[in-house]
Amino acid sequence: DTSLTEVNSFSPSVPISPSSMINQYKFEDGLELRDLFITVDDPESHITAIETFITYRVVTKTTRGEFDSSEYEVRRRYQDFLWLKSKLEEAHPTLIIPPLPEKFIMKGMVERFSDEFIETRRKALHKFLNRIADHPTLTFNEDFKIFLTAQAWELSSHKKQGPGLLSRMGQTVRAVASSVRGAVKNRPEMFSEMNDYMETFSQKINLLDKIAHRIYKEERDYCNEMKEYGPIHTLWSASEEDIADSLKGIASCIDRCCKATEKRMAGLSEHLLPLLHEYVLYSEILMGVLKRRDQIQGELDSKVDALANKKTEKDLFSEEIGKLEDKVERANNALKADWDRWKQNMQWDMRSTFTNVAENNLRYYEE
């Protein structure tokens, strides 16, 4: 489909070998440029009279001067990650905040608080923090620094210093009022193109997600059938002396096929499925970011209209319009820069993940 040609195209300078292509990108990424390393590990269950929850250890190593120490170790629960995400969205309404893993878990594959669920969530939380750490703006957010360094009681105290109820209500009312205004009159063409791109991207990534889940389910059903089919030949060989060796050989072959299929399924569940779900969430986040940009634009448009209809208080309105114009420009510039960065990362993620799936399939069929 040519509507997403840019997503699927390869640079002619990229080596033909998939492995060498991935290595080239990893080499160019360059770990030596990073000054903030974060690890999420060691999940721990907590059972109280009210609830059961999991905390994760967050270890941070850094060479940045604004940190008081070079290494920190704190424990965080999922609600703390939610708080961080909301603070980042509040501070940077037109930046693309990475998604949290609440929807990463595939229905029917894992149960809440099972080892598989916890490990899948741990990996996603690890990716969430490292995506923020690699972001040129979000990485220097003060709330992010507090999240990484504050002890549990300090973080709890800091959370209570958030905006009051009336302030939050005011923000909600403004957001609702902006959202019902209808189409923005003066939306730049670039953001209309972004909106069209994201609508197409959302449809395609959701379709890919459904297809990948269907493939995984079919592989799982096939594997379960083989697990039943193999032992039947072993039992059969006990009552058929003339063809016992052949039947045992078939049983052994089925067992090897089963193990190879399980390995291929592991590749899908560990790499492809989480990535596609992450970008399903990204598509929702980006549509939200574009709406917030439109709301800021809409606020400016309404003030300009009000000024045109008013003969008095022109100086006051002109000052407000000047401030809103600056706000719109900052919002536009932030989104433009983040958009290019996000597309580049998305293309790299898709390219490397689907290359990995292809290589796993080659190995599977060779076996």
Quick one: 203 and 311 in the same domain?
yes
List the one residue out of 97, 81, 87, 89 whose CA is nearest residue 162.
87
The secondary structure of 116-185 as a DSSP string is HHHHHHHHHHHHHHHHHHHSTTGGG-HHHHHHHH--HHHHHHHHTTS--HHHHHHHHHHHHHHHTS-S-T
pLDDT at 162: 63
Give 12's pLDDT tier (boundaries 50, 70, 90): very low
Quick one: 265 and 309 in the same domain?
yes
Domain assignment present for residue 170? The answer is no
Domain assignment present for residue 144? The answer is yes
Residue with tokens 């269907």: 214
Quick one: 128 and 81 in the same domain?
yes
CATH (domain of 341) = 1.20.1270.60
Quick one: 100 and 201 in the same domain?
no
User: Which class for 87: exposed (0-12), middle (13-18), buried (19 or more C-beta within 10 A)?
Assistant: buried
Residue with tokens 């063409």: 189
According to DSSP, the residues that pair with 297 across neighbouring strands are none
Quick one: 137 and 187 in the same domain?
no
Whether the CB-CB separation of 278 and 99 falls below 8 Å is answered with yes
Domain membership of residue 66 as a residue range: 36-155
pLDDT at 152: 86
Quick one: 137 and 268 in the same domain?
no
Domain assignment present for residue 271? The answer is yes
Domain assignment present for residue 330? The answer is yes
Domain assignment present for residue 40? The answer is yes
Whether 351 shows a pLDDT value over 50: the answer reads yes
What is the β-pairing status of strands 36-47 and 71-77?
unpaired
State both tokens at 211: 């297809």
Quick one: 255 and 362 in the same domain?
yes
Quick one: 252 and 291 in the same domain?
yes
* Residue partners of 3: CB distance under 8 A and separation at least 6: 200
Quick one: 345 and 260 in the same domain?
yes
Whether the CB-CB separation of 239 and 187 falls below 8 Å is answered with no
pLDDT digits (tens, 9 = 90+) for 233-242: 989 999 988 9
List the one residue out of 16, 9, 18 whose CA is nearest residue 363.
18
Whether 21 shows a pLDDT value over 70: the answer reads no
pLDDT digits (tens, 9 = 90+) for 154-198: 888 888 876 544 344 445 444 544 444 456 777 889 999 999 999
Domain assignment present for residue 13? The answer is no
Quick one: 199 and 281 in the same domain?
yes
Give 322's pLDDT tier (boundaries 50, 70, 90): confident
Average pLDDT taken over every residue of the chain: 82
Question: Which DSSP category does 44 fall into?
Answer: E
Question: What's the rounded mean pLDDT across residues 298-313?
Answer: 73
Please count the other Cβ atoms lying within 10 Å of the Cβ belonging to residue 347: 16
Quick one: 197 and 342 in the same domain?
yes
Question: What's the rounded mean pLDDT across residues 302-330?
Answer: 76
CATH (domain of 143) = 3.30.1520.10
* More confidently predicted of 52 and 41: 41
Whether 306 shows a pLDDT value over 60: the answer reads yes
Whether 51 shows a pLDDT value over 70: the answer reads yes
pLDDT digits (tens, 9 = 90+) for 24-43: 444 444 455 788 999 999 99
Tally the domains of the chain: 2
Domain assignment present for residue 161? The answer is no
pLDDT at 183: 60
Q: Give SS3 for 3.
A: helix
Please give the model's pTM, rounded to 2 decimal places.
0.78
Quick one: 129 and 235 in the same domain?
no
What distance in Å separates the CA atoms of residue 104 and residue 122, rounded to the nearest whole number? Answer: 11
What distance in Å separates the CA atoms of residue 72 and residue 151, rounded to the nearest whole number? Answer: 10
